[in-house]
Homo-oligomer: A and B are copies of this chain.
Amino acid sequence: MASDDQRGLHYEQTLMYGRYTQELGAYAKEEAARLREEGVRRPSVTERSRSLELLENDKGCCAKCRICTVRCQKFLISCVGEDWIFLILLGLFMALLSWLVDFGIGICLQSQKWMYVNLESNVFLQYLAWVTYPVVLITFSAGFTQLLAPQAVGSGIPEIKTILRGVVLKECLTFKTFVAKVIGLTSALGSGMPLGKESPFVHIASLGAALLCKFMSLFGGIYENESRNIELLSVACAVGVSCVFAAPIGGLLFSIEAMSTFFTVRNYWRGFFAATVTAFMYRVLAVWNRDEVTITALLPTNFRQDFPFDLQELPAFAVLGIASGLGGALFVCLNRQIVQLIRNQKTIKKFLMKKRLLYPALVTLLVSTLTFPPGFGQFMAAKLTQMESLETLLDNQTWSKQGIPEEFDSNSLSQAWKHPQVNVFVTLTLFVVMKFWMSALAMTMPVPCGAFMPVFVIGAAFGRLVGESMAAWFPDGVHSDGTIYPIEPGVYAAVGAAALSGAVTHTVSTAVVVFELTGQISHILPVMIAVILANAVAQSLQPSLYDSLIMIKKLPYLPELGWGHHEKYNICVEDIMIRDVMYITLNCCYRDLHDVLLTGHLKTLALLESSESMILLGSIERAQIQALLSLQLGRPRRLKYLRDRATAEKRLSVGSHPGSEDGSTMVNQEVHFQVNKISTEETSLSSTPTPSMKPLKPALKRPSVVDCPTEIPMPTSPQDHSGSTLKNLFRVRPDIEGLEDDFHVDDDMTIREIAEWEENQLDEQVNFDNCMIDPAPIQLVESTSLHKTHTIFSLLGLDHAYVTSIGRLIGVVSLKELQKAIEGSVAVKGVNVRPPLASFRDSGTSGTIMNNENKARDLHKLWNRRKLMSLPQEHRASDSDEKSK
Using CB atoms, name the residue of chain B closest to A869. B869
17 additional A-B residue pairs with CB within 8 Å, beyond A686-B874, A795-B795 = A41-B845, A227-B569, A248-B528, A249-B524, A256-B263, A273-B532, A280-B529, A300-B305, A302-B305, A305-B520, A586-B859, A685-B881, A687-B871, A690-B883, A775-B805, A775-B807, A792-B796
Known pairs A297-B522, A569-B225; A249 contacts B511 (CB<8 A): yes
| Centre residue among A479, A806, A883 by max chain B CB count within 10 A | A806
Asked whether A862 is an interface residue with its Cβ less than 8 Å from the other chain, the reply is yes
Asked whether A347 is an interface residue with its Cβ less than 8 Å from the other chain, the reply is no
Asked if A877 and B306 sit within 8 Å, CB to CB, the answer is no
Contact partners of A776 in chain B: CB under 8 A:
779-781, 804-806
- Residue of B529, B763, B866, B881 near A609 (CB, 8 A) is B866
Asked if B586 and A866 sit within 8 Å, CB to CB, the answer is yes
A873 to B287, CA, bound (A): 85
Asked whether A732 is an interface residue with its Cβ less than 8 Å from the other chain, the reply is no
Asked if A688 and B515 sit within 8 Å, CB to CB, the answer is no
Asked if B856 and A770 sit within 8 Å, CB to CB, the answer is yes
Interface size on A, residues (CB 8 A): 153
Asked whether A283 is an interface residue with its Cβ less than 8 Å from the other chain, the reply is yes
* Interchain residue pairs A-B with the least CB separation, the first 5: A690-B880, A692-B880, A617-B807, A686-B878, A687-B870
Interface mask (A175-203 → B, CB under 8 Å = 1, otherwise 0): 00000000000000000000000000000
Kindly provide the distance from the CB of A679 to the nearest chain B CB, expressed in whole angstroms.
12
Asked if A508 and B272 sit within 8 Å, CB to CB, the answer is yes
Asked whether A75 is an interface residue with its Cβ less than 8 Å from the other chain, the reply is no
Kindly provide the distance from the CB of A616 to the nearest chain B CB, expressed in whole angstroms.
6
A654 to B18, CA, bound (A): 92
Among A307-315, A367-375, A411-419, A744-752, the one that faces the other chain is: A307-315
A296 to B310, CA, bound (A): 10
Contact partners of A227 in chain B: CB under 8 A:
569, 785, 787-788
Contact partners of A710 in chain B: CB under 8 A:
884
Contact partners of A788 in chain B: CB under 8 A:
227, 796
Asked if B877 and A525 sit within 8 Å, CB to CB, the answer is no
Contact partners of A393 in chain B: CB under 8 A:
none
A705 to B27, CA, bound (A): 44
A192 to B739, CA, bound (A): 90
Asked whether A535 is an interface residue with its Cβ less than 8 Å from the other chain, the reply is yes
Asked whether A316 is an interface residue with its Cβ less than 8 Å from the other chain, the reply is no
Within residues 809 to 841 of chain A, which ones have a CB less than 8 A from any CB in chain B? none
Asked whether A109 is an interface residue with its Cβ less than 8 Å from the other chain, the reply is no
Asked if B519 and A305 sit within 8 Å, CB to CB, the answer is yes
A549 to B557, CA, bound (A): 41
Asked if B617 and A862 sit within 8 Å, CB to CB, the answer is yes
Asked if A296 and B273 sit within 8 Å, CB to CB, the answer is no
Asked if A261 and B257 sit within 8 Å, CB to CB, the answer is no
Asked whether A699 is an interface residue with its Cβ less than 8 Å from the other chain, the reply is no
Among A81-89, A433-441, A632-640, A643-651, the one that faces the other chain is: A81-89
Asked whether A652 is an interface residue with its Cβ less than 8 Å from the other chain, the reply is no
Asked whether A702 is an interface residue with its Cβ less than 8 Å from the other chain, the reply is no
Asked if A516 and B508 sit within 8 Å, CB to CB, the answer is no
Asked whether A28 is an interface residue with its Cβ less than 8 Å from the other chain, the reply is no
Using CB atoms, name the residue of chain B closest to A854. B775
Asked if A295 and B867 sit within 8 Å, CB to CB, the answer is no
Among A114-122, A402-410, A560-568, the one that faces the other chain is: A560-568
Asked whether A54 is an interface residue with its Cβ less than 8 Å from the other chain, the reply is no
- Residue of B84, B520, B680, B785 near A521 (CB, 8 A) is B520
Asked if A872 and B868 sit within 8 Å, CB to CB, the answer is yes
A693 to B780, CA, bound (A): 34
Asked if A264 and B262 sit within 8 Å, CB to CB, the answer is yes
Asked if A862 and B609 sit within 8 Å, CB to CB, the answer is yes
Within residues 574 to 605 of chain A, which ones have a CB less than 8 A from any CB in chain B? 586-587, 591
Asked if B40 and A266 sit within 8 Å, CB to CB, the answer is no
Asked if A522 and B690 sit within 8 Å, CB to CB, the answer is no
Asked if B295 and A308 sit within 8 Å, CB to CB, the answer is yes
- Residue of B296, B529, B617, B685 near A276 (CB, 8 A) is B529
Contact partners of A228 in chain B: CB under 8 A:
566, 569
A308 to B609, CA, bound (A): 71
- Residue of B564, B870, B881 near A690 (CB, 8 A) is B881
Kindly provide the distance from the CB of A607 to the nearest chain B CB, expressed in whole angstroms.
8
Asked if B283 and A618 sit within 8 Å, CB to CB, the answer is no
Within residues 518 to 551 of chain A, which ones have a CB less than 8 A from any CB in chain B? 519-522, 524-525, 528-529, 532, 535-536
Asked whether A610 is an interface residue with its Cβ less than 8 Å from the other chain, the reply is yes
Using CB atoms, name the residue of chain B closest to A876. B693
Interface mask (A766-799 → B, CB under 8 Å = 1, otherwise 0): 0011101101100111000101100110011000
Kindly provide the distance from the CB of A832 to the nearest chain B CB, expressed in whole angstroms.
11
Kindly provide the distance from the CB of A17 to the nearest chain B CB, expressed in whole angstroms.
25
Asked if A296 and B856 sit within 8 Å, CB to CB, the answer is no
Asked if A691 and B884 sit within 8 Å, CB to CB, the answer is yes
Asked if A528 and B276 sit within 8 Å, CB to CB, the answer is yes
A806 to B618, CA, bound (A): 5
Within residues 469 to 507 of chain A, which ones have a CB less than 8 A from any CB in chain B? 479
Asked whether A269 is an interface residue with its Cβ less than 8 Å from the other chain, the reply is yes
Interface mask (A675-696 → B, CB under 8 Å = 1, otherwise 0): 0000010011111111111000
A605 to B260, CA, bound (A): 36
Asked whether A674 is an interface residue with its Cβ less than 8 Å from the other chain, the reply is no
Asked if A866 and B684 sit within 8 Å, CB to CB, the answer is yes
Known pairs A883-B692, A884-B690; A308 contacts B294 (CB<8 A): yes
Can you report 8 A-B residue pairs in the complex whose CB atoms are below 8 A from each other? Answer: A222-B566, A261-B264, A262-B262, A586-B859, A692-B879, A773-B806, A776-B781, A807-B807
Contact partners of A307 in chain B: CB under 8 A:
293-294, 296
Asked if B806 and A775 sit within 8 Å, CB to CB, the answer is yes
A47 to B845, CA, bound (A): 12
Contact partners of A688 in chain B: CB under 8 A:
877, 881
